[in-house]
Structure 1
């Protein structure tokens, strides 16, 4: 069965072009033209990825993304006509997996879609340990959940991937370029602050005091690393 993609944008010509191009590559597509319709179709359909415009009538893309994230980890690529960095970062903070600024190259969009599906398929077929214990954390790699001292932490797909990578490589410093390439699954040409945003959100969820992190630390001028208690 081919992967199904929901395209959400109020520009009918753009939607028509995306549908045609993606279907030529073997994807099944459906479309929604406002935020409310997008939520309705997402709830009723079985999709593998959502392409979601930021500016939508009725309900904007950020709210749609947030509502979907409350129930699902389905990959979301955010589209925005705005060039300001904060809009891109805000989209990622709300749980989007990636973003593209309009106008964009369809080949770049296809490359990112393929990278996301490769990553998802790799996780689904990975033969690894289901339960990993690291310090105060219990990581369920198949259920993609973590708990700290018995308390379950709700992470987005990217936050989970970042935490798993760092926690299972304690003491190893990853620079932002490495994290983008490993977690996003391709050579990433976007804003390096994407990593900083995800690390900050992750700290807010797992640290008792995110301004005085105990676990995910910064190696100034280099990158980020996980410090277990045995290393303190």
Structure 2
């Protein structure tokens, strides 16, 4: 199996050295950038990365700006490293297209679990390729091509957003709980006060409604979400 390639963008040299020492024996190939501009250059180079670990506070260019510029051309999964207890950083990172976040200081085992969950999502995408295309309420989702379109206009989505939308669409007309989304897509149990599912749904809605004025996803307060089966 091809080893997973990770890019760590963080200016804490001691931390990046520790992460390299911890993650390399697990079979990961590691690149490190200690500056936002250098990190963006590496992230948008010809080299393929399976995941980017991106700190918020960086010299040269902060992590939010790196993510914003990255998402113009690349959908590489991004795990944001945020300050402990800073909800703004977490929410803003997810709004810009981060796949997940982890607050510093973090337990290395938790980091390893998050990395594995995200890379499993990417591995799962090809496994959906044998499934039939979905065309529901004006939204077409192709598992084989891993594309989403609305009214024949292609919509770029991260792997996390794609898998959440796919889960909602195959369960069209039925409520899908946040717990189910967290376990089946995020690869972990839903934690109290975790806003990540809400923010991914918000991003999906925003992208769909840029092509259609009709909200395709209904929020069932306190329960979950439902993809509207008919117009």
Is 1:225 the counterpart of 2:194? The answer is no
Counterpart of 2:173 in structure 1 is: 171
Deviates further, 20-29 or 125-134: 125-134
- DSSP-derived class of the 1:70 partner: helix
Counterpart of 2:59 in structure 1 is: 57
Shift of 1:191: 3.7
Relative distance call for 1:64 and 1:181 in structure 2 (3 A) is same
Q: Distance in 1 between matches of 2:104 and 2:192?
A: 13
Equivalent of 1:102 in 78, 82, 104: 104
Shift of 1:144: 1.9
Q: Distance in 1 between matches of 2:147 and 2:214?
A: 21
- DSSP-derived class of the 2:79 partner: strand
Relative distance call for 1:7 and 1:116 in structure 2 (3 A) is same
Counterpart of 2:88 in structure 1 is: 86
Q: Distance in 2 between matches of 1:179 and 1:129?
A: 19
Is 1:23 the counterpart of 2:19? The answer is no
Describe the superposition over 1:157-208 as per-residue Cα deviations: whole angstroms up to 9, x where unpaired. Answer: 2222221111121111122222111210222437432222222222122136
TM-score by length of 2: 0.91
Q: Distance in 1 between matches of 2:131 and 2:177?
A: 26
RMSD (Å), alpha carbons: 2.0
Counterpart of 2:3 in structure 1 is: 2
Please give the residue correspondences for 1:38-49 in structure 2 after superposition, counting only pairs within 5 Å.
Answer: 38-42=39-43, 43-49=45-51
**Gap regions ≥5 residues in structure 2:** none
Counterpart of 1:75 in structure 2 is: 77
Relative distance call for 1:209 and 1:72 in structure 2 (3 A) is closer
TM-score by length of 1: 0.90
Are the equivalent residues in 2 in contact too, given 1:177–1:192 (CA < 8 A)?
A: no
Q: Distance in 2 between matches of 1:209 and 1:141?
A: 20
Q: Distance in 2 between matches of 1:32 and 1:9?
A: 6
Are the equivalent residues in 2 in contact too, given 1:203–1:213 (CA < 8 A)?
A: no
Are the equivalent residues in 1 in contact too, given 2:175–2:226 (CA < 8 A)?
A: yes
Counterpart of 2:135 in structure 1 is: 133
**Gap regions ≥5 residues in structure 1:** none
Relative distance call for 1:25 and 1:131 in structure 2 (3 A) is same
